[in-house]
Amino acid sequence: MLNRIAVILLLSLNASVFADESRPSPDQALLKMQQAMEILNYQGTVAFLRNGSLNTLKYFHASADGSSQERLLSLNSPLHEVIRDADKVSCFFSGSAQVIVDHRPSARSFLIDLPENLDSLQDFYRLEFAGEEKVALLASYVLDVLPKDKYRYARRIWIEKQQYLPLKVEVYDHAHKVIEQVVFTELQMQKSLPIVDVDAATAGRKIQHIHGRSPDSFDNARFDLTQLPGGFHKQLFFTMAMPDPGHPVEHLLLSDGFSSVSVYLEHTKDKVELGPHVSGSVNAFSFLQGDYLITVMGEVPAITVRHIAEGVQLRQSKPVSD
Amino acid sequence: MTEPLNQKISQLLDDDLSREEALDILMKLQKQPVLQRKMRRYEAISHALKAEAYIPIQPGFAQAIAASIDEEPVSLPMRRPLAKPSFWMLPALAASLMAVAVLMPQETHRYDRPPTKPVAIAGNNIESIMLTEPAAPVSMAKVETVETSPAAASRLNKYLQAHNSSRYIDGSANLYPYARVVSYNQE
């Protein structure tokens, strides 16, 4: 009898060892997902739950010759198509025949923001498997991305076990409430998918181009940051020429890889609403320093935008030019 | 002939017949509608005597219910075919039970949402702090969350548009008077 129990115990231990060997570590799974998202061709239907609204869109990801393209096709009004290339986002509106081409120095995936370098991630997030589940009938690893401090939100990612594509992403606030959700309701792999030539598709149509986001050196900014939550780095700085209220707005983009925060500075003499604001998962905090309105916003907790805002200081040497 | 039959019916209703006699009278009842009507009358009299009330039941009531049940569509849930018991089933079951016993205490939280410690801070403000929060004190006294007014929302919408491209997903970029925003740099 004892021999039989020993054999059973050995078998069960072996099974668990094999299971661990076949399953990657959490950071390996995240790395594989990052690569799969970039190089694979896939399409499906994605539901986006953001800012309290649910949008269901057909999703296409095409990759060829080292370049990739994301395409979203709305299934409900307002009917529109969004195409993300490496340096721009193009939006085609069916009803108004309007086309907007937003030239962005760094356009991130519509599905999930991922850091380019995963090495530094573990200083600020803890990665843990939380089991396995099926999403859109596909078996997936459930990976928790847990912040080590209070300055960022927790995430849960369902990673498909064969191809390592993200099937579902949820972002939670500190009260465990889901504040953002992206989920594939069906997903198909393809050998290849066409990359849409946006220039050809928009030929002969009236297009609104958004430029003016050429990266500049942060040394030229009128403000400086004296405190930042760990892991947040300056990604981009540029000056946007906003027509309303009619003068330039400085924009600094910060990111810790998963979450991004923007700092805006503009000259104003108008009466403006100050303090904290919230819109879905986006928190913002506005305040005045002299005649300058400073706003910090991002998909981070309120405490984070407030913390960054408290560290904004105007540079004395920068000449004021309006 | 009729009288003994009536007697038997009465005894049947009073449960005074042996099994063989009861089967015999039931066979006869099945074949003779006259006897069936007679039994219903006896049944009604018996019921009225016992309950001091009489609720007439229409002839064919039971048959009508039976017919209705026959007409009901039958839907059976799909059943997964049971696996054939094999030699390995018992050891596998034992191993599974052992694994459950060993792993259960640490695995019960697996499908919970990521662990955070909810609700802290006094007053009307609610904040929660991650379990792994560092000991460093927070510099601000309060974190308030308020709904944004339309005027502030307009400004924030412009900022949000510049912040990331998610506004294109819901098509809300088109709802904003975008022409004004981009007029400074239109081609």
**How does pLDDT run across A50-72, given as a tens digit for each residue?**
777 788 899 999 998 888 899 99
Under a CB-based contact definition with an 8 Å cutoff, are residues B119 and B126 in contact? yes
Highest mean pLDDT out of A175-179, A241-245, B65-69, B119-123 = A175-179
CA distances from A217 to A88, A106, B20, B30 (A): 21, 16, 106, 102
Average pLDDT over every residue of B10-18: 84
Q: Is residue B73 part of a domain?
A: no
A190-204 residues labelled b (16+ CB within 10 A) or e (exposed): eeebebbebeeebee
> How many domains does chain B contain in total?
2
* Last residue of one domain, picked from the residues B57, B81, B104: B57
**Nearest-angstrom CA–CA distance, B166 and A82:** 10
Q: What pLDDT is attached to residue A23?
A: 82
State the pairing for strand pair A88-93/A178-190.
unpaired
**Nearest-angstrom CA–CA distance, A167 and A20:** 22
- Cβ contacts of A298 on chain B, cutoff 8 Å: 163
Domain that holds residue B40: 2-57
Of the two residues A300 and A318, the one the predictor is more confident about is A300
Instruction: Read off the tokens for A267.
Output: 């000259």
- In tens, the pLDDT along B60-117 reads 666 676 666 655 544 444 434 444 445 455 555 565 555 555 444 443 333 355 544 3
* Last residue of one domain, picked from the residues B57, B72, B94: B57
Task: Give the 3-state secondary structure of residue A133.
Answer: strand
CA distance A158 to chain B (A): 12
Give the single-character DSSP code of A121.
G
Domain map of chain A by residue range? 20-201, 212-314
DSSP string, A42-105: EEEEEEEEETTEEEEEEEEEEEETTEEEEEEEESSSSPEEEEE-SSEEEEEETTT--EEEEE-S
Under a CB-based contact definition with an 8 Å cutoff, are residues A185 and A168 in contact? no
* Average pLDDT in chain A: 84
Asked if the Cβ–Cβ distance from B140 to A243 is below 8 Å, we say no
Q: Is residue B52 part of a domain?
A: yes
The CATH class that applies to domain A212-314 reads alpha beta
The answer, for B173 touching chain A at a CB cutoff of 8 Å, is yes
Under a CB-based contact definition with an 8 Å cutoff, are residues B167 and B160 in contact? yes
Name every residue whose Cβ is closer than 8 Å to that of residue A34 and which is 6 or more positions away in sequence. A114, A118
- Cβ contacts of A149 on chain B, cutoff 8 Å: 130, 132-134
Of the listed ranges A3-7, A100-104, A198-202, A219-223, the least confidently predicted one is: A3-7
Residue of B168, B143, B166, B181 whose CA lies nearest to A282: B166
- Cβ contacts of A145 on chain B, cutoff 8 Å: 114
Query: Is 2.50.20.10 the CATH number for A20-201?
Result: yes
- Return the half-sphere exposure (C-beta side, CA atoms, 13 A cut-off) of residue B180: 10
The answer, for B124 touching chain A at a CB cutoff of 8 Å, is no
Instruction: Read off the tokens for A138.
Output: 């596909």
Q: Is residue B41 part of a domain?
A: yes
The answer, for B118 touching chain A at a CB cutoff of 8 Å, is yes
State the pairing for strand pair A292-298/A260-267.
antiparallel
Phi, psi of B181 (to 5 degrees): -65, -40
Q: Is residue B110 part of a domain?
A: no
Name every residue whose Cβ is closer than 8 Å to that of residue B130 and which is 6 or more positions away in sequence. A146, A147, A148, A149, A150, A154, A174, B116, B117
What is the number of other CB atoms lying within 10 angstroms of the CB of residue A126?
Answer: 16
CA distances from A191 to A60, A188, A194, B135 (A): 13, 10, 10, 51
- In tens, the pLDDT along A238-277 reads 888 765 656 788 999 998 888 889 999 988 877 777 889 8
Q: What pLDDT is attached to residue A93?
A: 79
Q: Is residue B111 part of a domain?
A: no
Give the single-character DSSP code of B114.
P
- Cβ contacts of B180 on chain A, cutoff 8 Å: 243-244
Q: Is residue B36 part of a domain?
A: yes
Query: What is the pLDDT confidence band of residue B124, given thresholds at 50, 70 and 90?
Result: very low
